[in-house]
Chains A and B, each alone.
Chain A
Amino acid sequence: MPEKIKIAIAQGATCSGCDIAVLDLDVELLRLFEVADLTFAPLVSDVKLKDVEAMEDGAITICLYHGAVRNSENRHIAGLLRRKSRILVAYGACAAFGGIPGLANVTSRKKILDTVYDDTATTVNPEHTRPQTKYVTPEGHELQLPELDEQVKALDDVVEVDYVIGACPPTREMNVKLLQVVLDFVNGKAPLPPKGMILASERTLCEECPREKPEKVTVDEIKGVDYIQPDPDKCFLEQGIICFGPATRGGCDAKCIKVNVPCRGCMGPTASVIDHGGSMLSAFSSILRVSGSETALPEEEIQRLVAKMRDPLGTLYRFTLPKSLLKRVVSERPPRKE
Protein backbone atom coordinates (compact mmCIF):
# COMPACT_ATOMS: atom_id res chain seq x y z
CA MET A 1 0.00 0.00 0.00
CA PRO A 2 1.72 3.18 -1.13
CA GLU A 3 1.70 6.20 1.10
CA LYS A 4 -1.44 8.31 0.82
CA ILE A 5 -1.29 11.36 -1.40
CA LYS A 6 -2.56 14.75 -0.27
CA ILE A 7 -5.27 16.52 -2.19
CA ALA A 8 -6.80 19.97 -1.88
CA ILE A 9 -9.82 21.70 -3.36
CA ALA A 10 -9.37 25.47 -3.52
CA GLN A 11 -12.01 28.07 -4.27
CA GLY A 12 -11.65 31.15 -6.40
CA ALA A 13 -14.55 33.25 -7.70
CA THR A 14 -16.83 30.25 -7.71
CA CYS A 15 -20.48 29.31 -7.42
CA SER A 16 -19.33 26.16 -5.61
CA GLY A 17 -21.08 24.00 -8.20
CA CYS A 18 -17.67 22.51 -8.84
CA ASP A 19 -17.35 21.51 -5.16
CA ILE A 20 -20.70 19.78 -5.45
CA ALA A 21 -19.60 18.10 -8.67
CA VAL A 22 -16.70 16.48 -6.78
CA LEU A 23 -19.01 15.40 -3.94
CA ASP A 24 -21.27 13.93 -6.58
CA LEU A 25 -18.71 11.12 -6.88
CA ASP A 26 -20.61 9.73 -3.81
CA VAL A 27 -19.57 6.07 -3.26
CA GLU A 28 -16.60 6.54 -5.56
CA LEU A 29 -15.25 8.98 -2.97
CA LEU A 30 -14.47 5.95 -0.79
CA ARG A 31 -12.04 4.75 -3.45
CA LEU A 32 -10.47 8.18 -3.47
CA PHE A 33 -10.03 8.26 0.30
CA GLU A 34 -8.30 4.86 0.24
CA VAL A 35 -5.39 6.54 -1.46
CA ALA A 36 -5.74 10.20 -0.60
CA ASP A 37 -6.08 12.52 2.37
CA LEU A 38 -8.07 15.68 1.96
CA THR A 39 -5.80 18.42 3.33
CA PHE A 40 -7.66 21.56 2.40
CA ALA A 41 -11.24 21.90 1.17
CA PRO A 42 -13.15 24.80 2.73
CA LEU A 43 -16.51 23.39 1.71
CA VAL A 44 -16.16 20.20 3.74
CA SER A 45 -13.37 20.63 6.27
CA ASP A 46 -12.21 23.25 8.71
CA VAL A 47 -8.65 23.78 7.56
CA LYS A 48 -7.67 27.41 7.41
CA LEU A 49 -5.51 29.18 4.87
CA LYS A 50 -2.86 29.77 7.54
CA ASP A 51 -2.60 25.99 7.98
CA VAL A 52 -1.86 25.74 4.28
CA GLU A 53 0.64 28.59 4.58
CA ALA A 54 2.45 26.59 7.25
CA MET A 55 2.86 23.55 4.99
CA GLU A 56 6.08 22.90 3.12
CA ASP A 57 6.16 23.90 -0.52
CA GLY A 58 5.02 21.02 -2.72
CA ALA A 59 3.43 19.22 0.25
CA ILE A 60 0.09 18.83 -1.53
CA THR A 61 0.13 16.32 -4.36
CA ILE A 62 -2.88 17.53 -6.35
CA CYS A 63 -4.97 20.66 -5.97
CA LEU A 64 -8.18 21.29 -7.87
CA TYR A 65 -8.79 25.04 -8.10
CA HIS A 66 -12.28 26.02 -9.18
CA GLY A 67 -13.65 29.47 -9.89
CA ALA A 68 -12.18 32.41 -11.76
CA VAL A 69 -9.61 34.91 -10.50
CA ARG A 70 -11.28 38.26 -9.85
CA ASN A 71 -9.93 39.70 -6.57
CA SER A 72 -6.84 39.88 -4.39
CA GLU A 73 -7.95 36.90 -2.29
CA ASN A 74 -8.39 34.70 -5.36
CA ARG A 75 -4.91 35.72 -6.49
CA HIS A 76 -3.47 34.97 -3.08
CA ILE A 77 -5.10 31.52 -2.94
CA ALA A 78 -4.01 30.75 -6.51
CA GLY A 79 -0.39 31.70 -5.77
CA LEU A 80 -0.34 29.91 -2.41
CA LEU A 81 -1.82 26.66 -3.70
CA ARG A 82 0.51 26.80 -6.70
CA ARG A 83 3.49 26.84 -4.34
CA LYS A 84 2.15 24.17 -2.04
CA SER A 85 0.96 21.77 -4.76
CA ARG A 86 2.95 19.60 -7.12
CA ILE A 87 0.03 19.39 -9.55
CA LEU A 88 -2.37 22.29 -9.98
CA VAL A 89 -5.57 21.72 -11.93
CA ALA A 90 -7.79 24.48 -13.33
CA TYR A 91 -11.02 22.66 -12.62
CA GLY A 92 -14.23 23.66 -14.38
CA ALA A 93 -15.07 26.38 -16.90
CA CYS A 94 -14.47 29.32 -14.51
CA ALA A 95 -10.91 28.32 -13.64
CA ALA A 96 -10.24 27.17 -17.18
CA PHE A 97 -11.62 30.11 -19.19
CA GLY A 98 -13.06 32.63 -16.73
CA GLY A 99 -16.52 31.10 -17.04
CA ILE A 100 -19.72 32.84 -16.03
CA PRO A 101 -17.98 35.26 -13.61
CA GLY A 102 -15.80 36.21 -16.58
CA LEU A 103 -18.85 37.93 -18.08
CA ALA A 104 -18.11 40.73 -15.60
CA ASN A 105 -15.54 41.82 -18.19
CA VAL A 106 -18.42 43.44 -20.09
CA THR A 107 -18.16 46.23 -17.56
CA SER A 108 -15.58 47.85 -15.32
CA ARG A 109 -14.83 47.64 -11.63
CA LYS A 110 -16.04 51.19 -11.15
CA LYS A 111 -19.38 50.54 -12.86
CA ILE A 112 -19.94 47.38 -10.84
CA LEU A 113 -19.34 49.24 -7.58
CA ASP A 114 -21.49 52.17 -8.71
CA THR A 115 -24.37 49.85 -9.58
CA VAL A 116 -24.19 47.91 -6.35
CA TYR A 117 -23.54 50.79 -3.96
CA ASP A 118 -25.42 53.65 -5.61
CA ASP A 119 -27.56 53.05 -8.63
CA THR A 120 -29.95 50.25 -7.76
CA ALA A 121 -33.46 51.49 -6.92
CA THR A 122 -33.36 50.12 -3.39
CA THR A 123 -30.02 51.67 -2.41
CA VAL A 124 -29.84 54.83 -0.30
CA ASN A 125 -26.22 55.89 0.04
CA PRO A 126 -25.95 59.69 0.05
CA GLU A 127 -22.29 59.57 1.12
CA HIS A 128 -21.46 57.16 -1.70
CA THR A 129 -19.80 54.79 0.74
CA ARG A 130 -17.71 52.06 -0.83
CA PRO A 131 -16.41 48.93 0.87
CA GLN A 132 -12.97 49.53 2.39
CA THR A 133 -10.37 46.82 2.14
CA LYS A 134 -9.19 47.57 5.68
CA TYR A 135 -11.18 48.62 8.73
CA VAL A 136 -10.18 48.91 12.36
CA THR A 137 -13.07 48.47 14.77
CA PRO A 138 -13.39 50.77 17.82
CA GLU A 139 -12.14 47.79 19.86
CA GLY A 140 -8.98 47.71 17.76
CA HIS A 141 -9.64 44.64 15.61
CA GLU A 142 -8.43 44.96 12.05
CA LEU A 143 -10.85 43.57 9.49
CA GLN A 144 -9.92 42.98 5.88
CA LEU A 145 -11.82 42.55 2.65
CA PRO A 146 -10.33 41.45 -0.66
CA GLU A 147 -9.82 44.08 -3.31
CA LEU A 148 -11.83 43.70 -6.51
CA ASP A 149 -9.67 43.48 -9.65
CA GLU A 150 -10.32 45.51 -12.77
CA GLN A 151 -10.80 42.39 -14.84
CA VAL A 152 -11.63 38.72 -14.41
CA LYS A 153 -9.00 36.18 -15.38
CA ALA A 154 -8.64 32.46 -15.80
CA LEU A 155 -6.34 30.59 -13.41
CA ASP A 156 -3.52 30.14 -15.93
CA ASP A 157 -3.43 33.88 -16.52
CA VAL A 158 -2.04 34.33 -13.01
CA VAL A 159 -0.14 31.12 -12.15
CA GLU A 160 1.27 28.15 -14.00
CA VAL A 161 -1.30 25.40 -14.36
CA ASP A 162 -0.60 21.73 -15.04
CA TYR A 163 -4.00 20.52 -16.16
CA VAL A 164 -7.13 22.18 -17.45
CA ILE A 165 -10.57 20.60 -17.16
CA GLY A 166 -13.50 22.32 -18.82
CA ALA A 167 -17.26 22.09 -18.29
CA CYS A 168 -19.62 23.88 -15.92
CA PRO A 169 -19.33 21.87 -13.80
CA PRO A 170 -17.29 18.81 -14.89
CA THR A 171 -19.66 15.87 -15.25
CA ARG A 172 -19.74 12.85 -12.98
CA GLU A 173 -18.32 10.71 -15.79
CA MET A 174 -15.42 13.15 -16.17
CA ASN A 175 -14.81 12.99 -12.43
CA VAL A 176 -14.82 9.20 -12.44
CA LYS A 177 -12.20 9.34 -15.21
CA LEU A 178 -10.19 11.88 -13.22
CA LEU A 179 -10.35 9.59 -10.20
CA GLN A 180 -8.99 6.75 -12.32
CA VAL A 181 -6.11 8.95 -13.50
CA VAL A 182 -5.29 9.68 -9.85
CA LEU A 183 -5.61 6.02 -8.77
CA ASP A 184 -3.41 4.81 -11.65
CA PHE A 185 -0.82 7.41 -10.78
CA VAL A 186 -0.78 6.53 -7.06
CA ASN A 187 -0.61 2.80 -7.74
CA GLY A 188 2.11 3.24 -10.32
CA LYS A 189 -0.07 1.72 -13.05
CA ALA A 190 0.09 4.59 -15.49
CA PRO A 191 2.08 7.82 -15.75
CA LEU A 192 0.28 11.13 -15.57
CA PRO A 193 -1.11 12.40 -18.86
CA PRO A 194 0.79 15.16 -20.68
CA LYS A 195 0.08 18.64 -19.37
CA GLY A 196 -2.74 20.72 -20.78
CA MET A 197 -6.43 20.07 -21.35
CA ILE A 198 -7.50 16.64 -20.08
CA LEU A 199 -10.71 14.57 -19.96
CA ALA A 200 -11.80 16.14 -23.22
CA SER A 201 -11.96 15.05 -26.79
CA GLU A 202 -9.81 16.52 -29.55
CA ARG A 203 -12.90 16.67 -31.72
CA THR A 204 -15.96 18.86 -31.64
CA LEU A 205 -19.13 18.10 -29.76
CA CYS A 206 -21.01 17.67 -33.06
CA GLU A 207 -18.95 14.56 -33.68
CA GLU A 208 -20.22 12.88 -30.55
CA CYS A 209 -23.75 14.27 -30.80
CA PRO A 210 -26.43 11.62 -31.34
CA ARG A 211 -28.82 13.87 -33.31
CA GLU A 212 -29.52 13.38 -36.99
CA LYS A 213 -27.80 16.01 -39.04
CA PRO A 214 -28.24 16.57 -42.72
CA GLU A 215 -25.27 16.55 -45.09
CA LYS A 216 -25.34 20.33 -45.14
CA VAL A 217 -26.99 22.36 -42.40
CA THR A 218 -28.63 25.65 -43.31
CA VAL A 219 -30.43 28.10 -41.06
CA ASP A 220 -33.33 30.08 -42.47
CA GLU A 221 -33.97 32.15 -39.42
CA ILE A 222 -32.45 32.40 -35.95
CA LYS A 223 -34.90 31.30 -33.26
CA GLY A 224 -34.67 31.63 -29.50
CA VAL A 225 -34.91 28.28 -27.72
CA ASP A 226 -37.27 29.86 -25.21
CA TYR A 227 -39.98 30.38 -27.81
CA ILE A 228 -40.23 27.04 -29.52
CA GLN A 229 -40.42 23.40 -28.57
CA PRO A 230 -37.31 21.92 -30.17
CA ASP A 231 -37.58 18.65 -32.05
CA PRO A 232 -35.76 16.13 -29.83
CA ASP A 233 -34.06 14.26 -32.68
CA LYS A 234 -33.01 16.91 -35.17
CA CYS A 235 -29.83 18.99 -35.04
CA PHE A 236 -30.55 22.24 -33.18
CA LEU A 237 -28.83 24.40 -35.74
CA GLU A 238 -30.99 22.95 -38.43
CA GLN A 239 -33.98 24.12 -36.41
CA GLY A 240 -32.55 27.64 -36.30
CA ILE A 241 -31.49 27.35 -32.66
CA ILE A 242 -27.97 28.40 -31.79
CA CYS A 243 -26.02 25.36 -30.65
CA PHE A 244 -22.33 25.61 -29.83
CA GLY A 245 -21.52 22.06 -30.97
CA PRO A 246 -19.44 23.03 -34.02
CA ALA A 247 -17.06 25.23 -32.01
CA THR A 248 -16.96 23.28 -28.75
CA ARG A 249 -14.83 20.40 -27.55
CA GLY A 250 -16.47 17.06 -27.06
CA GLY A 251 -16.04 15.17 -23.81
CA CYS A 252 -19.19 15.99 -21.87
CA ASP A 253 -21.06 13.14 -23.52
CA ALA A 254 -23.49 15.66 -25.08
CA LYS A 255 -25.11 16.20 -21.69
CA CYS A 256 -27.37 19.11 -22.62
CA ILE A 257 -28.23 17.83 -26.08
CA LYS A 258 -29.60 14.65 -24.53
CA VAL A 259 -32.09 16.62 -22.45
CA ASN A 260 -33.12 18.70 -25.48
CA VAL A 261 -31.15 21.81 -24.61
CA PRO A 262 -28.67 23.27 -27.10
CA CYS A 263 -24.99 23.38 -26.20
CA ARG A 264 -23.78 26.70 -24.76
CA GLY A 265 -20.10 25.81 -24.96
CA CYS A 266 -19.00 25.09 -21.38
CA MET A 267 -16.26 22.69 -22.53
CA GLY A 268 -14.55 25.57 -24.29
CA PRO A 269 -13.05 25.58 -27.77
CA THR A 270 -11.08 22.83 -29.49
CA ALA A 271 -7.29 23.06 -29.50
CA SER A 272 -7.07 24.64 -32.95
CA VAL A 273 -9.32 27.56 -31.99
CA ILE A 274 -7.97 30.71 -30.35
CA ASP A 275 -11.24 32.55 -29.80
CA HIS A 276 -14.30 30.46 -28.98
CA GLY A 277 -16.84 33.14 -29.87
CA GLY A 278 -15.09 34.10 -33.10
CA SER A 279 -15.01 30.50 -34.20
CA MET A 280 -18.72 30.04 -33.44
CA LEU A 281 -19.57 33.32 -35.16
CA SER A 282 -17.77 32.10 -38.24
CA ALA A 283 -19.42 28.68 -38.22
CA PHE A 284 -22.83 30.11 -37.57
CA SER A 285 -22.82 32.90 -40.11
CA SER A 286 -21.62 30.46 -42.75
CA ILE A 287 -24.80 28.43 -42.52
CA LEU A 288 -27.30 31.30 -42.60
CA ARG A 289 -29.23 30.56 -45.74
CA VAL A 290 -28.25 32.29 -48.93
CA SER A 291 -31.41 33.18 -50.77
CA GLY A 292 -31.81 32.92 -54.54
CA SER A 293 -31.86 36.66 -54.91
CA GLU A 294 -28.68 37.32 -52.98
CA THR A 295 -27.33 39.75 -55.56
CA ALA A 296 -30.35 41.98 -55.00
CA LEU A 297 -30.34 41.64 -51.20
CA PRO A 298 -29.73 45.02 -49.51
CA GLU A 299 -27.30 45.19 -46.59
CA GLU A 300 -30.15 46.21 -44.25
CA GLU A 301 -31.77 42.87 -44.93
CA ILE A 302 -28.58 41.08 -43.85
CA GLN A 303 -28.43 43.25 -40.74
CA ARG A 304 -32.00 42.26 -39.97
CA LEU A 305 -31.20 38.58 -40.39
CA VAL A 306 -28.26 38.61 -37.98
CA ALA A 307 -29.97 40.96 -35.50
CA LYS A 308 -32.10 37.96 -34.54
CA MET A 309 -29.15 36.75 -32.51
CA ARG A 310 -29.82 38.37 -29.18
CA ASP A 311 -26.81 39.53 -27.19
CA PRO A 312 -24.06 38.18 -29.47
CA LEU A 313 -21.32 38.86 -26.92
CA GLY A 314 -23.06 37.07 -24.06
CA THR A 315 -24.05 34.21 -26.32
CA LEU A 316 -20.72 33.76 -28.06
CA TYR A 317 -18.52 34.16 -24.99
CA ARG A 318 -20.76 32.82 -22.26
CA PHE A 319 -17.89 30.85 -20.72
CA THR A 320 -14.76 32.24 -22.34
CA LEU A 321 -14.75 36.05 -22.37
CA PRO A 322 -11.51 36.42 -20.32
CA LYS A 323 -9.83 33.98 -22.73
CA SER A 324 -11.10 35.72 -25.85
CA LEU A 325 -8.78 37.80 -28.02
CA LEU A 326 -10.30 41.08 -26.87
CA LYS A 327 -10.75 39.88 -23.25
CA ARG A 328 -12.88 42.76 -22.07
CA VAL A 329 -15.15 45.55 -23.14
CA VAL A 330 -13.68 49.03 -23.71
CA SER A 331 -15.25 52.38 -24.36
CA GLU A 332 -14.64 54.85 -27.15
CA ARG A 333 -13.47 58.29 -26.19
CA PRO A 334 -15.95 61.04 -26.94
CA PRO A 335 -14.89 62.71 -30.21
CA ARG A 336 -12.19 65.32 -29.76
CA LYS A 337 -13.27 68.92 -29.94
CA GLU A 338 -11.36 71.18 -32.27
Chain B
Amino acid sequence: MTEEFRPRILVFCCNWCSYAGADLAGIGRYQIDPHFRVVRTMCSARVDPEWIMEAFRLGADGVMVAGCHPGDCHYIGGNYRTRRRIALLRSLLSQFGLDPERLHLEWISAGEAEKFASSVNGFIRRVGALGPSPYRETAARTDGVAAEEAAHA
Protein backbone atom coordinates (compact mmCIF):
# COMPACT_ATOMS: atom_id res chain seq x y z
CA MET B 1 0.00 0.00 0.00
CA THR B 2 2.30 2.75 -1.18
CA GLU B 3 -0.33 4.99 -2.72
CA GLU B 4 0.84 8.58 -2.83
CA PHE B 5 -0.60 10.75 -0.06
CA ARG B 6 -3.02 13.31 -1.43
CA PRO B 7 -3.67 16.00 1.14
CA ARG B 8 -7.13 17.48 1.51
CA ILE B 9 -6.74 21.22 1.66
CA LEU B 10 -9.38 23.86 2.23
CA VAL B 11 -8.66 27.46 1.21
CA PHE B 12 -10.84 30.32 2.39
CA CYS B 13 -10.54 33.38 0.16
CA CYS B 14 -12.06 36.78 0.84
CA ASN B 15 -14.19 38.07 -1.98
CA TRP B 16 -12.44 41.38 -2.59
CA CYS B 17 -8.78 40.47 -2.84
CA SER B 18 -7.77 36.84 -2.54
CA TYR B 19 -10.64 35.33 -4.51
CA ALA B 20 -9.95 37.79 -7.30
CA GLY B 21 -6.29 36.78 -7.07
CA ALA B 22 -7.29 33.11 -7.35
CA ASP B 23 -9.45 33.94 -10.33
CA LEU B 24 -6.61 35.73 -12.00
CA ALA B 25 -4.33 32.78 -11.34
CA GLY B 26 -6.85 30.65 -13.21
CA ILE B 27 -7.07 33.06 -16.12
CA GLY B 28 -3.28 33.31 -16.18
CA ARG B 29 -3.10 29.48 -16.36
CA TYR B 30 -0.71 29.14 -13.47
CA GLN B 31 0.14 25.55 -12.60
CA ILE B 32 -1.48 24.76 -9.25
CA ASP B 33 -1.56 21.45 -7.46
CA PRO B 34 -5.22 20.35 -7.65
CA HIS B 35 -5.54 19.05 -4.06
CA PHE B 36 -7.50 21.99 -2.69
CA ARG B 37 -11.00 23.45 -2.61
CA VAL B 38 -11.79 27.14 -2.32
CA VAL B 39 -14.55 28.62 -0.18
CA ARG B 40 -15.27 32.27 -0.84
CA THR B 41 -16.25 34.50 2.06
CA MET B 42 -16.98 38.21 1.97
CA CYS B 43 -14.05 38.99 4.25
CA SER B 44 -11.32 36.89 5.87
CA ALA B 45 -12.83 37.96 9.22
CA ARG B 46 -16.00 36.07 8.28
CA VAL B 47 -14.10 32.80 8.65
CA ASP B 48 -15.32 31.53 11.97
CA PRO B 49 -12.82 29.49 14.05
CA GLU B 50 -15.62 26.90 14.30
CA TRP B 51 -15.50 26.39 10.52
CA ILE B 52 -11.79 25.70 10.64
CA MET B 53 -12.20 23.23 13.48
CA GLU B 54 -15.11 21.61 11.66
CA ALA B 55 -12.88 21.22 8.60
CA PHE B 56 -10.25 19.45 10.71
CA ARG B 57 -12.92 17.36 12.41
CA LEU B 58 -14.10 16.17 9.02
CA GLY B 59 -10.60 15.20 8.05
CA ALA B 60 -9.00 18.19 6.31
CA ASP B 61 -5.20 17.99 6.36
CA GLY B 62 -4.65 21.72 6.10
CA VAL B 63 -6.62 24.95 6.07
CA MET B 64 -5.42 28.17 4.50
CA VAL B 65 -7.08 31.52 5.07
CA ALA B 66 -6.34 34.21 2.50
CA GLY B 67 -7.28 37.85 2.84
CA CYS B 68 -6.36 41.35 1.72
CA HIS B 69 -3.02 42.84 2.74
CA PRO B 70 -3.04 44.88 5.99
CA GLY B 71 -4.51 48.27 5.14
CA ASP B 72 -6.46 46.92 2.15
CA CYS B 73 -9.42 45.08 3.71
CA HIS B 74 -12.66 46.12 2.04
CA TYR B 75 -14.18 46.41 5.53
CA ILE B 76 -11.23 48.43 6.84
CA GLY B 77 -10.04 46.23 9.69
CA GLY B 78 -11.47 42.76 9.09
CA ASN B 79 -8.08 41.24 8.41
CA TYR B 80 -6.65 42.71 11.64
CA ARG B 81 -9.15 40.55 13.51
CA THR B 82 -8.35 37.63 11.28
CA ARG B 83 -4.64 37.73 12.08
CA ARG B 84 -5.31 37.77 15.86
CA ARG B 85 -7.82 34.98 15.57
CA ILE B 86 -5.59 32.81 13.43
CA ALA B 87 -2.60 33.40 15.73
CA LEU B 88 -4.64 32.31 18.74
CA LEU B 89 -6.20 29.44 16.84
CA ARG B 90 -2.79 28.17 15.78
CA SER B 91 -1.63 27.96 19.37
CA LEU B 92 -4.92 26.29 20.31
CA LEU B 93 -4.62 23.75 17.50
CA SER B 94 -1.09 22.90 18.51
CA GLN B 95 -2.41 22.12 22.00
CA PHE B 96 -4.94 19.85 20.31
CA GLY B 97 -1.92 18.04 18.90
CA LEU B 98 -1.99 19.37 15.33
CA ASP B 99 1.12 20.81 13.78
CA PRO B 100 0.36 24.57 13.66
CA GLU B 101 1.70 24.55 10.08
CA ARG B 102 -1.61 22.97 9.11
CA LEU B 103 -3.30 26.33 9.50
CA HIS B 104 -1.87 29.03 7.31
CA LEU B 105 -2.66 32.70 6.83
CA GLU B 106 -1.66 34.54 3.69
CA TRP B 107 -2.27 38.04 2.35
CA ILE B 108 -3.03 37.92 -1.37
CA SER B 109 -4.23 40.92 -3.34
CA ALA B 110 -6.47 40.86 -6.42
CA GLY B 111 -3.44 41.29 -8.66
CA GLU B 112 -1.23 38.65 -7.04
CA ALA B 113 -2.07 35.65 -9.20
CA GLU B 114 1.42 34.32 -8.92
CA LYS B 115 1.45 34.65 -5.16
CA PHE B 116 -1.83 32.73 -4.99
CA ALA B 117 -0.37 29.91 -7.06
CA SER B 118 2.93 29.76 -5.20
CA SER B 119 1.42 29.98 -1.71
CA VAL B 120 -1.15 27.27 -2.41
CA ASN B 121 1.53 25.07 -3.98
CA GLY B 122 3.89 25.72 -1.08
CA PHE B 123 1.20 25.00 1.49
CA ILE B 124 0.15 21.76 -0.18
CA ARG B 125 3.79 20.68 -0.31
CA ARG B 126 4.35 21.42 3.39
CA VAL B 127 1.14 19.68 4.45
CA GLY B 128 1.97 16.79 2.16
CA ALA B 129 5.26 16.38 4.00
CA LEU B 130 3.43 16.35 7.35
CA GLY B 131 1.24 13.47 6.20
CA PRO B 132 -2.43 12.90 6.96
CA SER B 133 -4.00 14.86 9.80
CA PRO B 134 -4.32 12.74 12.94
CA TYR B 135 -7.99 13.80 13.07
CA ARG B 136 -8.59 11.86 9.85
CA GLU B 137 -8.27 8.70 11.87
CA THR B 138 -10.62 9.85 14.59
CA ALA B 139 -13.08 11.04 11.93
CA ALA B 140 -13.03 7.58 10.39
CA ARG B 141 -13.00 5.78 13.71
CA THR B 142 -15.71 7.61 15.63
CA ASP B 143 -18.50 5.28 14.52
CA GLY B 144 -16.41 2.25 15.31
CA VAL B 145 -15.70 3.53 18.81
CA ALA B 146 -19.37 4.25 19.40
CA ALA B 147 -20.31 0.76 18.25
CA GLU B 148 -17.61 -0.85 20.37
CA GLU B 149 -18.65 1.10 23.45
CA ALA B 150 -22.30 0.26 22.87
CA ALA B 151 -21.31 -3.39 22.78
CA HIS B 152 -19.48 -2.88 26.09
CA ALA B 153 -22.42 -1.24 27.86
Contacts and interface: CB of A to CB of B under 8 A. Distances in A.
A150 B149 CA distance: 10
Given A158-B153, A295-B70, A336-B131, A302 B97 contact: no
Nearest to A317: B92
B138 A285 contact: no
Given A275-B53, A326-B56, A330-B134, A306 B98 contact: no
B84 A305 contact: yes
Given A79-B153, A299-B83, A306 B88 contact: yes
B97 A306 contact: no
A139 interface: no
Contacts of A158: 149, 153
Nearest to B80: A290
A285 B88 contact: yes
A116 interface: no
Nearest to B92: A312
A331 interface: yes
B37 interface: no
A302 B138 contact: no
A294 B89 CA distance: 20
A303 interface: yes
Contacts of B149: 75, 149, 158
Contact of B53 (A278, A288, A331, A333): A278
Nearest to A147: B152
Contact of B89 (A75, A273, A281, A327): A281
B48 interface: yes
Given A303-B87, A309-B88, A333-B131, A294 B71 contact: yes
Given A281-B89, A316-B92, 11 more contacts: A72-B153, A158-B149, A274-B54, A278-B48, A281-B92, A282-B85, A306-B84, A325-B50, A325-B54, A333-B132, A335-B131
A329 interface: yes
The 6 closest A-B pairs by CB, nearest first: A330-B134, A313-B95, A285-B84, A295-B71, A330-B97, A278-B49
A75 B145 contact: no
Given A72-B152, A282-B48, A325 B88 contact: no
Interface of B: 45, 48-50, 53-54, 56-57, 70-71, 77, 80-81, 83-85, 87-89, 91-92, 95-99, 129-132, 134-135, 137-138, 145, 149, 152-153
B96 A329 contact: yes
Nearest to A305: B84
Contacts of A147: 152
Interface string A225-257: 000000000000000000000000000000000
Given A79-B153, A295-B70, A275 B50 contact: yes
B66 to A, nearest CB: 15
Contacts of B89: 281
Interface size band for A: 35 or more
B96 A313 contact: yes
Contacts of B88: 281, 284-285, 306, 309, 312
A302 B53 contact: no
User: Max chain B CB contacts within 10 Å: which of A72, A76, A282, A329?
Assistant: A282
Interface string A302-328: 110111010111001000000011111
Given A279-B50, A288-B84, A336-B131, A329 B91 contact: no
A286 interface: yes
A297 interface: yes
Nearest to B132: A333
A277 interface: yes
A328 B96 CA distance: 7
Nearest to A72: B152
Interface centre among B83, B98, B137, B138, by most chain A C-beta atoms within 10 angstroms, is: B83
A3 interface: no
B53 A326 contact: yes
A155 to B, nearest CB: 13
A321 to B, nearest CB: 10
A274 B48 CA distance: 11
Given A158-B149, A281-B85, A288-B84, A332 B92 contact: no
A285 B153 contact: no
A307 B71 CA distance: 24
Given A282-B48, A302-B84, A277 B92 contact: yes
A75 B81 CA distance: 43
A329 B131 contact: no
Contacts of A75: 149, 152-153
